[in-house]
Amino acid sequence: MPNSTYTVSRAVTYAKTFPDISDVVQSTSAGNSLEPALTIASDVMTEMIKQPFNWKWNRMAPGNQFPYFYTNGFQQDYAIPGLINLGWIEHGELIDINNTAIPKPVWPLEVVRDLPRTSTQYGRPGQVCWLPNDQLYYATWGAANTGNATIGLNPGPNMVIGTLLGVYAAPINPILQVQDAFGNLWVVTTFGTTGAVNPFASNLTPVYPTPQNPNTTATTVTDGSVVWTAVNPKGMGIRCYPTPPQTGIVYQFSLTGQWRAFAFTNQNGTQGGMFSTFGQTIEPIPDDFSKYFRDGFVALTYAHATDPRKRAKYQDMRDNWLKSLGDARQQADRERENAGFYPGSTIMSDNSWNWVGPAYPFGQ
């Protein structure tokens, strides 16, 4: 069920009741008459969703909008097919997914802005960051493994790529993502045994979901019984730290993110409809926050008033609107933060060698 039923057209209709700005907004469906209303609506969306507003209603649910993924030996980077509208990561958990205990062991993940590449493999991953897919590292199908740049193994002919689920320890797999000779990026989505020849010998000119067309079915390639799926180079992937060991425990990453702001356009877009009549809803902004969207739309419309005296009201209108957004944000401030200080060591020294941080507060 969507958050919102409130549409851009309702904001436009409301703004037309203000004599100062009624001539700025139009509601016909030809040519440039959609502007500047669509741009104003997009600007309001951006202001409401950007930091410091980490609204709970704007979260990408783990396993749904933010897909789960699983650690693979010697693989630090993970391109995620279909993840194209991530704004930033709030928090995450690491789950020992193949453990048969009830409940399964779960540990917190520390979310950071950036992480370096590393070959360090001790313990379990404790930190994550997101990066554009084209900034992650990839294997090369069929390349020699001596001194290769991916740290782990390159996939090649007649190679078994074992499943990561339902196993005691991670199989000895190659890196599960490749870049072909034409710059296209691919991720394993079906495990099995690779074929005898390179499936990427010719340019397959793949298609994949984009922010404008998120429901596009990505191109797939069959490689023996393995299936590779194309990923958007400007989509989002994950880097973890430290690197998972080759045959260690398989962990599931369960991450919660925030959507980035959607733009309102007069073309087919994120909600699959034509918006030439301003029919797009303000999803993910919920109906009980439509007041703030409506007030912001009016405030920013004043910047386009033709009369300088009317346009002069813009700054005060905008400041008052942003103040009201700040007041709304205080809703979350009534809830206690789950944060604090973490000791760097125990009271009694224990010769621990693990990386120390929020995921390993005592180095264990």
Average pLDDT, the chain: 86
Share of the chain above pLDDT 90, in %: 63
Residue 273 pLDDT grade (very low, low, confident, very high; cuts 50, 70, 90): very low
pLDDT at 92: 94
CA distances from residue 120 to 107, 138, 243, 310 in whole angstroms, order as listed: 19, 18, 6, 61
Does 246 fall in a domain? yes
Same domain, 18 and 66: no
What is the extent of the structural domain holding 306? 8-50+265-333
Total of domains in the chain:
2
Q: Residue 108: how many CA atoms within 13 Å on its side-chain side?
A: 14
What are the tens digits of pLDDT across the range 281-291?
898 899 999 99
Average pLDDT of the residues in 44-65: 87
Average pLDDT of the residues in 66-81: 95
| Distance, CA of 69 to CA of 268 (rounded, Å) | 30
Cis peptide before 244 (omega within 30 of 0): no
Same domain, 110 and 237: yes
pLDDT at 268: 43
Same domain, 214 and 80: yes
Q: Are 193 and 159 in contact (CB under 8 A)?
A: yes
- pTM to 2 decimals? 0.84
pLDDT at 336: 62
φ, ψ dihedrals at 201, nearest 5°: -65, -30
Same domain, 66 and 43: no
Amino acid at 156: G
Q: What is the CA radius of gyration of the chain?
A: 25
Does 364 fall in a domain? no
Same domain, 196 and 290: no
pLDDT at 67: 94
Same domain, 148 and 87: yes
Asked if residue 347 has pLDDT above 80, the reply is no
Q: In the chain, at which residue ranges do the beta strands (DSSP E only) sit?
A: 59-60, 69-70, 77-79, 86-96, 106-111, 127-132, 160-161, 177-179, 185-190, 192-193, 220-223, 226-231, 236-241, 251-259
pLDDT at 274: 39
Q: Residue 145: how many CA atoms within 13 Å on its side-chain side?
A: 10
The three-class DSSP label of residue 131 is: strand
Same domain, 95 and 199: yes
| Distance, CA of 221 to CA of 39 (rounded, Å) | 39
